[in-house]
Amino acid sequence: MGKIILIQHCQSEHHINNMSGGWTDTPLTEFGRKQAKTLGRKLKELVDSNDDYVLYSSDLLRALQTAEIVGRELGLDVIKDKSLREINTGVAAGKTKDWARANRNPRTRNGFDLDYQEFQDGESWREFYSRVCSCMDRIYESEKTKNLMIVTHGGTLGYILAWWMKFEPEMIVNAYFSSSVGGVTILSQNSFQQNVVNKFNDTSHFDLLNSHERT
């Protein structure tokens, strides 16, 4: 296996219109599309033209649209995979953040609870991590001779990183990897076959774009 490049989707409508995340299916904003274009150009510089990459994406619009824009820059088709979605928020999907805060299930213990199901018909954190690990095991096995590029969501990206570091479920109780919209994370293996995090949540490609947005 070569490199794995993880990308958090760019700015989505739910970031600016008070909608909840999770399985709420919102498209990119206009600024998010600009971010994705900038990201694609950066990746084109970063990726060796001789490297064989396969581009996977969550099927939710905000990730899929990011992947399609990046894919056009790199000449890659997008493979959609529902298992790369953010945590399933059940009945909160399509609802506002205010509704979600008022209707989440009560907590039965303090701190992070792996088996807490925040919303009816949704996933617990343990179920979410299990889904992400199973998805990555499947993709890793099927594409083991190629480099991977994966466009997904913040929570999913953090759990892919935990999968790469071979975390048991109980280990994510005390650790979380927080990434940003459009952030790029690069994973590889060294000569000792150790799993390496070469870069985490790099957003430097947005510096010029963000400065233009402020002026």
Per-residue model confidence as pLDDT tens digits over 113-142 = 999 999 999 999 999 999 999 999 999 999
Which pTM does this prediction carry?
A: 0.94
Mean of per-residue pLDDT scores for the chain: 95
Q: How confident is the model at residue 211 (pLDDT cuts 50, 70, 90)?
A: low
First to last CA, the chain: 43
The DSSP 8-state label assigned to residue 82 in this structure reads: G
Q: Note the CATH number of domain 4-214.
A: 3.40.50.1240
Q: How confident is the model at residue 212 (pLDDT cuts 50, 70, 90)?
A: low
Residue range 48-72, pLDDT digits in tens: 877 899 999 999 999 999 999 999 9
Contact between 55 and 75 under an 8 Å Cβ cutoff? The reply is no
Q: Is 27's pLDDT higher than 80?
A: yes
Q: How confident is the model at residue 208 (pLDDT cuts 50, 70, 90)?
A: confident
pLDDT at 215 (0 to 100): 45
Half-sphere exposure of 121 (CA within 13 A, CB side): 7
